[in-house]
Structure 1
Amino acid sequence: MAKATKKQALGRGLSALLKDPENDIKSAEDKNADKVVGNIVELELKTIEVNPFQPRTSFNEEALRELASSIRELGVIQPITVRKLGFNSYQLVSGERRYRASKLVGLDTIPAYIRIANDQESLEMALVENIQRQDLDPIEIALSYQRLIEEIDITQETLSERVGKNRSTITNYLRLLKLDPIIQTGMRDGFISMGHGRALINIENTGDQLDIYEKIITDKLSVRATENLVRDYKAPNDAPKSTPKSLPNFANKGRKQLSDILDSKVNVKLTNSGKGTIAINFKDKEDFLRIIEQIKSEK
């Protein structure tokens, strides 16, 4: 407890230093800047403004109340990060949930790290720190990636290094922004997952996207079921149009039955002599083993 008290006292001492007009720190080269940068400072909430670059645009009220309850009991464990705007004036870089919850509790001050940066650096810090530390939904992460690429003017390759993610992961998030806005909203509200969204991206027509999206919601389809639905939707365009017509009725009917039973695409080929082959598609080892178990269960 003594250690915590010492840290809080230090924070209050630095806060007093920052309120002294004669010690107005504007850059890392200014006198006493080394005492502030990198240290935790107790700042008055009224001196902090919300960061317009904050990627999170919606806050779960129940989760915010739970955080407020935790802060009331334990205090703010993880300091927020701010950048200095002017004398005794700051702007949030990251930690808006903690900031909002602290105001909800009625705190006067909050522990903070102070950084001195220009707007572009502040934007990059806000986006990168939120991507890595905050529980953003897939669309918010995608928007953050897009803003970093467009506003900081970096490539996906450089971005992957900055945020510590594979380039393919970043690409998958960015592709979500091609979905119809209604579907994006559904993902943000938790009606569907990123897996559902990634499956729907493969449908180019937005009207068809929405039809399948409604079916996902109505029937509570899993990601796997959605992938199968999308695959079946695309199958008529991928397969030769003459194939189903060239099959005898018994073979075509049997192909459809097998496809329904195995929950996978089934192809049937017949020779002129009447002999034939059955081909069952599978995506990976797990899907292959699933099909085998399904066949066993039908015995």
Structure 2
Amino acid sequence: MAKATKKQALGRGLSALLNDPSNDIKSAQDTGADKVIGNIVELDLDFIEVNPFQPRTNFSEESLRELASSIKELGIIQPITVRKLGLNKYQLVSGERRFRASKYLNLETIPAYVRIANDQESLEMALVENIQRQDLDPIEIALSYQRLIEEINLTQEQMSERVGKKRSTITNYLRLLKLDPIIQTGMRDGFISMGHGRALITIEDQTIQLDIYEKILSKKLSVRETENLVRNHNTPNNSSSLSSTKEENDAVPKYIKKGINAFSEYFGHKIDVKVSKNGKGKITIPFHSEEDFNRIKKLVEGAK
């Protein structure tokens, strides 16, 4: 018990040091910086802003409530990491779920490691830290790899060393970004696995990708069944069926072609549109489970 009290007192003392206007630490060379870096500091939640470089965009409300319940019972076991921007101003580097859960509980402070980092270092730390997490979906990981390449200018070889992953593993994740955005959304929502996505990548035509994606969902195809279906589509014997799909797509009026993608992206599924010769038509919105139906229902209610 005495050790815990000492640790908390240390945190409060460092917080006072950070909040002193006459000793505002802005770099690792400033006076007192060595006392802050590597130690846990109790920071006011109102002094912390979220990280604009955060690669994770999907935060489950249910999982946040569960985490909040755990924090309420046990406290925050692992401190968050922040970087100092100025006096009483910090930015998250990692730990946004813990930060959000603490805000949900209306806590005043949170234990944090304070780092001195520029934008590029902060981005790299956030991306690498998130890639190591077990609960990221494949698309979030792929987007993190892409940002490391484009914004940090890392090669796949350098990235392999930073994150401890094989280069082939990184390549497989990056290839997922070639899938149609609707399929990427399906993977993020857990409707299909990374194995399904890797099978679909071998088909370049995104219209055909979506056709097979709908079959995977409606027939609940396994990865192996999906691979067989894709293999059949890629054989010369199926060239006629592929061309017929394209012919049907070409028969759709231009004004529908322009608008259908917006519908599909909004509802997260390929929307089926049938048009008769007199110009009248029908729009079909598919769903694949009760959860999926309720998700679409919320979208419609929110648009009212």
User: TM > 0.5 between the two?
Assistant: yes
Shift of 1:223: 0.9
> 1:238 deviation in Å?
9.7
Give the distance between the partners of 2:96 and 2:161, measured in 1 at CA.
25
Name the structure 2 match of 1:147: 147
Which residue of 2 is the match for residue 161 of structure 1? 161
1:105 is aligned with what amino acid?
Answer: L
Equivalent position amino acid for 2:35 in 1: K
Structure 1 residue runs of 4+, over 3 Å off? none
2:74 is aligned to 74
Corresponding residue number in structure 2 for 1:191: 191
Instruction: Map Cα deviations across residues 139-196 of structure 1 (whole Å, 9 max, x no partner).
Output: 0110000000000011111111111100000000000000000000000111111111
| Aligned counterparts of 1:2 and 1:230: Cα–Cα separation in 2 | 64
> Aligned equivalents of 1:144 and 1:156: distance in 2?
12
Q: Deviations over 1:223-275 (max 9, x none)?
A: 11111111122123699xxxxxxxxxxxxxxxxxxxxxxxxxxxxxxxxxxxx
TM-score computed with the length of structure 2 as normaliser: 0.77
- Would you say 1:92 and 2:92 are equivalent positions? yes
3-state SS of the aligned residue for 1:204? coil
Q: Distance in 2 between matches of 1:237 and 1:160?
A: 40
Displacement of 1:17 in angstroms is 1.3
The C-alpha deviation readout for 1:19-48, integer Å capped at 9, x for no partner, is 111221111111111110011100000000
CA distance in 2, matches of 1:4, 1:221: 53
Residue 235 of structure 1 corresponds to which residue in structure 2? 235
> C-alpha separation between the residues in 2 aligned to 1:71 and 1:181?
36
1: CA distance between counterparts of 2:179 and 2:52? 25
Structure 2 gap ranges (5+): 240-304
Distance 1:148 1:109, change over 3 A: same
Kindly indicate whether the alpha-carbon contact (under 8 Å) linking 2:84 and 2:115 is maintained by their aligned counterparts in 1. yes
Q: How does 1:253-272 map to 2 (within 5 A)?
A: none
Note if contact 2:175-2:201 (Cα within 8 Å) is conserved in structure 1: yes
Distance in 2 between the 1:4 and 1:161 partners?
37
TM-score by length of 1: 0.78
The one-letter code matched in structure 2 to 1:67 is: L
Identity, in percent, stands at 82
Letter in 1 for 2:161: E
Larger radius of gyration: 1
Structure 2 Cα separation of the partners of residues 44 and 226 of structure 1: 51
Letter of the 2:177 counterpart: L
Counterpart of 2:132 in 1: which secondary structure?
helix
Question: Could you list the per-position Cα deviations for residues 59-98 of structure 1 after superposition, in whole angstroms to 9, with x for gaps in the alignment?
Answer: 0110010000000111111111100000111000111000
Corresponding residue for 2:5? 5
CA distance in 1, matches of 2:69, 2:206: 43
Q: Secondary structure at the match of 2:38?
A: coil
| Pairing of 1:175-214 with structure 2 (within 5 A) | 175-214=175-214
- Would you say how many aligned residue pairs link Structure 1 and Structure 2? 239
Say whether residues 1:225 and 2:225 are aligned partners: yes
Structure 1 residues 70 and 212 mapped into 2: Cα distance closer, same or farther (>3 Å)? Answer: same
Cα distance in 2 for partners of 1:26, 1:133 equals 30
Q: Residue type of the partner of 1:228?
A: N
Partner of residue 264, structure 2: none
Q: 1:9-158 alignment to 2 at 5 Å?
A: 9-133=9-133, 135-158=135-158
Structure 2: distance between partners of 1:66 and 1:125: 26
Is the Cα–Cα contact under 8 Å of residues 130 and 136 in structure 2 kept in the other structure?
A: yes
8 Å contact from structure 2 (residues 232, 238) kept in 1: no
- Distance change >3 Å, CA 237–CA 25, structure 1 → 2: farther
SS at match of 1:133: coil
Distance between the aligned counterparts of 2:126 and 2:166, measured in 1? 20
Give the aligned residue type for 1:94: S
Cα distance in 2 for partners of 1:27, 1:198 equals: 45
Q: What residue identity is the alignment partner of 1:16? A: A
1:237–1:144 distance in 2 versus 1, CA, 3 Å: farther
Q: Residue 291 of structure 1 aligns with which residue?
A: none
Gaps of 5+ in 1: 240-299
Letter in 1 for 2:19: K
Letter in 1 for 2:169: T
